[in-house]
Amino acid sequence: MIDRDGFRPNVGIILVNDENRLFWGRRIGQDAWQFPQGGIQEGESPEEAMYRELEEEVGLKSHQVKLLGCTRRWLRYRLPKKFIRRNAQPLCIGQKQRWFLLQVICDESGFCLDGSEKPEFDDWRWVKYWQPAKDVIYFKRRVYQRALEELAPLIFPDARPVSRSRSNYLRQQRR
């Protein structure tokens, strides 16, 4: 499914543990790290897609997590020209994503990266909250930053709001 503007509807999943650290997965066979994410299928709601992708990519089921919240609107990123498949129709120029924040309520033995036909990740670790916005592939950084900023109050209710300016963002990271 590609919308009329060329964006593929997608969900992003931010998993947080009881130490407020985030799941960070390494893409299979690559030195590229990201949050779980995936496309929304025809007739599927973003929440249904999120739970399907959660199970496919990390092996967790809905009873092993607690839904804390999601972004209010779609967050978009454009693919760099070299990643656009020009021969595909309709043409996909990027993704629009709804981001979900989930508290992991099971132990780590619940994670299973190779339970689906096409595994997405071959390794994972827990990282500090702001690290993914710095370490994800360059064209996804702004979307990661915006999702993390919007969802941060759900787990850091007493923290001051994070500014989108680079200098404030970096100051916030050092805390």
Which tens digit of pLDDT belongs to each residue from 137-171? 999 999 999 999 999 999 998 876 554 444 444 44
Task: Give the whole-angstrom CA distance, residue 163 versus residue 167.
Answer: 9
Question: 92 vs 39, which has greater pLDDT?
Answer: 39
Task: Give the whole-angstrom CA distance, residue 87 versus residue 105.
Answer: 43
pLDDT bin (cut points 50, 70, 90) of residue 118 is: very high
Q: Token digits for 26?
A: 């390494």
pTM of whole model > 0.75? Answer: yes
Q: Read off the pLDDT of residues 57-103 as tens digits, 9 standing for 90 and up.
A: 999 999 999 999 999 999 999 998 888 888 778 888 899 999 999 99
